[in-house]
Structure formats: C-alpha cells, structure tokens
Structure 1
Amino acid sequence: MVRAIRGAIQVEANDRDAIIGGTAELVTTVMERNELSTDEVISVLFTATPDLTAEFPALAARKLGFHEVPLICCTEIDVPGALPRVVRLMAHIETDRPRDRIQHVYLRGAVALRQDIAQ
C-alpha cells in the first residue's frame, strides 16, 4: 500500500543552517516515529513559507541519505496571518501499516498547525 505522512516544523530564521537543521530534525523524526528506512520512501514533497529562501529544504534529506528518493521543493501559499518560517513535508511511503498507525509529525511552533494530529 501507499500511504502519505504529513509533517511540519517552524525554524528560527531564514538562514541556511536553520533551514537544513530544522528540516533534518523533521525528516529524522518522521522516519523514527514511523519506523521507516529510505527504501520504503517513494517520494517527498517539501514546501516552505515564502519567507524561507536561504536554502532548499530537500538538501537536508539528501544529507541524511535520501539519494535514490525523488524530492521536490515548492513555496507554500502566502496566506495573510499564516505561521511564518515553516517547512512542511508530505512523504509517500510503501507500507502495510493502516492509516490509523501513521504518525504525522508537527514540531516546535508548527504544532499549532494541526493540534488534532500532532504528537
């Protein structure tokens, strides 16, 4: 089966190290909580709020070993009043795990985005 995992993290600043570090924390947490290896990951879509331009979030995943996984980065819609400095991801995975056992991950200030599913 194919499942999707959502996640987000708010980073401290529009700074290359902050974006890479925050994205690495998000990706690592998603992988750990869902007990995944990169072999089970089909693709990952990253978005960043328009105020994050210092680096591509996908670079963090490449540094973590996602060499064979298709990755892409996009800009999130610029909605007035939206939470700033947020990197989001949607990972598509191959798994036998039912939907109710998928762990979606929202870290730091991004917990406010999805309090209904954030752990």
Structure 2
Amino acid sequence: MIRGIRGATTVSNNQEEQVIDAADELLRKMIESNEVEATDVASVFISVTSDINAAFPSKALRRFPDWKFVPIMCMQEIPVVDSLPLCIRVMLHVNTTKSQASINHIYLKNAVILRPDLASNN
C-alpha cells in the first residue's frame, strides 16, 4: 500500500545553500524516522512558498545514495494570505505495510505551527 509521509521546514532567507540544506535536513529525518528505502518510494512532491526561488529543494535528495531513480517534482504552494512564509513542504509517497498511525510526520523550525499535533511526535 502507498502511504504519504508529510514534512515541512522553514528557512530564514531565500538563499540557495539554506534552501538545499533545510530540505536535506528535513528529508533525512523523514527517511530515517520512517525507515524508508529509496526502492520503496513511488514519488516525492516538494513545494515551496512563493518567497523561495533561490534553488530547487529537490537538489538535496540528489545527494542521497540510491535515490537517483526516484521521481521528484517541485512546485509552488498556493499563496494563501497570512500563510507561513519561507516554507518547504514535502510529501513522500512510500510503499509500506505500516499503518497510518505508525507514520512519523516531521515538522521542523517554524513549520511546527502547521501541525503541532504531529510535530510533537518528532
């Protein structure tokens, strides 16, 4: 069965190194806490708020061994008024036997306000 694993983080500035490093940290924590193997990943969606355009956060995933063939798509979030700025969101679509309640969703930095109920499980 395919399950979604959610995650989000923020950067303090729209700078290439910050965007890639923040995505790297988030993705590593999502992968490690859910014991994800690249061969079990159907696809990855990464979105950013409109104030992030210095880099594709997907570049972070290309640093990971064995993730070469995982399909990744970057996109822009809907620009909702008063939404969290400088935010990177990730959705991993993973083949797993885990239940929904067993999935560890990861929220870092200012993104913990998006889902404090899930962030407390980090």
Counting aligned pairs with the same residue, the percent is 39
Look up the match of 2:5. 5
Query: Matches of 1:103 and 1:87 in 2, distance apart?
Result: 17
Shift of 1:28: 0.1
1:41-89 Cα shifts (integer Å, max 9, x gaps): 1100000000000001111111123211000000001111111100001
Give ranges in structure 2 of 5+ residues lacking alignment: none
Look up the match of 2:91. 90
Look up the match of 2:104. 103
Give ranges in structure 1 of 5+ residues lacking alignment: none
Matches within 5 A, 1:18-29: 18-29=18-29
CA root-mean-square deviation:
0.8
SS of alignment partner, residue 82 of structure 1: coil
SS of alignment partner, residue 113 of structure 2: helix
- How high is the TM-score relative to the length of structure 2? 0.94
Aligned length: 119
- Runs of 4 or more, structure 1, over 6 Å off, are none
Look up the match of 1:37. 37
Look up the match of 1:113. 114
Query: Matches of 2:115 and 2:102 in 1, distance apart?
Result: 17
Query: Matches of 1:51 and 1:107 in 2, distance apart?
Result: 18
SS of alignment partner, residue 117 of structure 1: helix
